[in-house]
Structure 1
Amino acid sequence: MTTEPLKPHSREWYARLARELGGYRHPWARVLEGPDPELTFDALLMERLGPGVRVPAVRVLEAGCGHGPDAARFASRVGRWAAFDAVPELVAQARGNAPHADVHEWTAKGEVPSGLRGPFDLIVSRRGPTSVILRLPELAAPGAEFLYVGPRLDVPQVPDRLAAVGWEVRGEWRVSVRARVPTRQDWVTRCEWMTEPERVPEWDAHAGPDGLPYREERYVVLASKRS
C-alpha cells in the first residue's frame, strides 16, 4: 500500500483498500492460534438460512457489505438478498462478486433507497455500520431478527441503539482467540485500523522472534423486536 496518510475509516481510506487490496480486507498479516472468532456469527447466520437449500421466503438485508463476500456466498440461497455499502468502489466490487444480490450505495442515513426498502426477515452486519439499527423499525418485517458481529468484546452502541428502537438482545457472544502479528509494521497497521495508537509500544515491550501475541476479539449479538 502507499504511504500517503488518510484518515482511518474515512470513505477515501476504504476506497484505497478497495483499489489496493481488492476489497474490504485487513491490510496486515496475522496468525490465529485458534478458531476464527467470527465462526459464531457464521453459524448463527447459516442456521437462519436453512440447510443448504434455497429458502425463497427469507429476505435478508446486509449492512456494510464491503466487496460482497457474504452476498456472494449466501444470496442464491434466499428469496432476496439486498445489501449496501457507503463506498462506491466497494459497491461496484460487490455487484461483480455477488450477481444474485441487489447491492446499493447508502450510508444507513437519510432516505432509504427504493431498492433497499423492506420488509426484511433478517438484517445482518459483519463489522458494518451500527447506524442501521436505528432504521430497524422501517426495514424489519414482523418477527425479524438482527445479527451483528463487531471487532471488540464490547460495542456498547449496539445494545444501546437496540434498546432505543424497542429491540432486545436475545443472545450475546464474546469470543477471544489468541493470535499474533509477525512484524512491527503489521502491528502498527492493526493499531491504526482499530484506532488504538496507544497500543503501538506493546510491540517493543512484548514482541518475540515470532512476532507479538495478542487477542483477536469479536462481539456477536442476536436481537429481535421486544414483544
Structure 2
Amino acid sequence: MGGIKMSDGKILFDPMKHAEWIPPHSREWYEQLFKETGEYRYPWKSQFEEPRAEIIFGHKIAANLNYGRLLDVGCGHGEFALQFALDAREIVGIDVVEGFIEKGNQHKSLGNINFMVTDGDGHLPFPNDYFDVAYTKKGPRDWYHEANRIVKPGGMILGLYHAGSHGGLRDRFPGLYSPMPQPEANDILSDLNLHGSGLTDIHVELFEEIEYLATPEDVLIKKCFGQNHKLKEIVWQECLQDVEVIFNKHATKQGLKVFNYYHLLTARAS
C-alpha cells in the first residue's frame, strides 16, 4: 500500500495505488457513480465563498443564449441544464450513461428539454448550424471537433474543467492527495486539442474558488467520489484517524479551507 510521509512523520494511505481505484471521469467511473448515487452530484458537505466557478459559468451561458437552442455535452442527470429551461427555445443534453439520461427525462420540467444517450467523442447526431450555445461542465474533452459544425456561426462554445485543488487538501494530506503544479491555460488548450477545430476567439481563464469542508469525513468523501464501496471502507480504515487529527488542527469555524481551481474555456463558431 503506497503512501508518502506527512510533515509529522506518519504515512498517509494513497488510494490511487490500490487495485480497486477507478480513474476519475473514465467510462467505468461514470457507471460506478450512477450505480452508487444515481446522480452526478457532489456528496460531501461544504460551503463556499463567492463567486463560485459554476455560477460564473452559468451566467456566461445565459448571457449568450438569447432564447436560442442549447446543447449540454456530458449532462449527467441534467440538473445543471434545467436552470436554463425558461431561457432557451430548446435544450438538448447528451451523456453516455443510460441511467443518467433516463433520470433526466423523468425529471425534466418542460417539453422543450430532451436528454439522449450519445457519445460526445464521435459524430454528434445534430444538423449543421443547429445550436446557438453548446457547453460541457466538467465533462468530455473530445467533442470540439464537432462544435464548429453544429453551432451557428458566431455562436458560443464553453467548457468548465476542474484544474485541481490545493491548500487544505494537498498541503495537509500528502499521499491521500498528490502534489500538483499550478495549472496553466496553455496546458488545457493543448489537452483539448483545438487545433483544426475551426473555432475562433478561443480564450481560457483560470478561476480560484474557496471551499470549506465541514468534517474530516468530507475530506475522504471528496477523495473517493465515484469509487466503489470496498475501496471506501479501506480508505476510511486506513486514513480517518489521521485525517481527523489534521483536520481538527487546521480547520476554522467555517471548516477546512480548500482552494479549487477551474479552467473556463470560451470560443466562437466560425
Residue 23 of structure 1 aligns with an amino acid whose one-letter code is E
Aligned to 2:168: none
Is residue 21 of structure 1 aligned with residue 53 of structure 2? Answer: no
Is residue 188 of structure 1 aligned with residue 220 of structure 2? Answer: yes
Instruction: Give secondary structure in 1 for the equivalent of 2:25.
Output: coil
Aligned to 2:94: 84
Q: Which moved more, 1:180-189 or 1:214-223?
A: 180-189
Aligned to 1:126: 137
Structure 1 counterpart of 2:257, from 201, 204, 213:
213
Aligned to 2:119: 107
- Offset of residue 205 of structure 1: 8.5
Aligned to 2:172: none
Whole-angstrom CA distance in 2 between matches of 1:19 and 1:178: 30
Corresponding residue pairs, total: 211
Residue 58 of structure 2 aligns with an amino acid whose one-letter code is D
Q: What is the root-mean-square deviation of aligned Cα atoms in Å?
A: 3.2
Aligned to 1:72: 82
Residue 13 of structure 1 aligns with an amino acid whose one-letter code is W
Aligned CA distance change for structure 1 residues 154 and 123 (closer, same or farther; 3 Å): farther
Structure 1 counterpart of 2:53, from 37, 56, 59:
37
Higher RCO, Cα 8 Å, sep 6+ = 2
Contact 1:171–1:223 at 8 Å: present in 2 too?
yes
Instruction: Give secondary structure in 2 for the equivalent of 1:17.
Output: helix
Q: Deviations over 1:110-136 (max 9, x none)?
A: 3433xx344222111111212111222
Instruction: Give secondary structure in 1 for the equivalent of 2:267.
Output: strand
With structure 1 as the length reference, what TM-score do the two structures score?
0.76
Residue 97 of structure 2 aligns with an amino acid whose one-letter code is V
Contact 1:180–1:213 at 8 Å: present in 2 too?
yes
Aligned sequence identity (%): 22
Is residue 137 of structure 1 aligned with residue 137 of structure 2? Answer: no
Is residue 151 of structure 1 aligned with residue 162 of structure 2? Answer: yes
User: Structure 1: 5+ residue runs without aligned partners?
Assistant: none
Contact 2:123–2:146 at 8 Å: present in 1 too?
no
With structure 2 as the length reference, what TM-score do the two structures score?
0.66
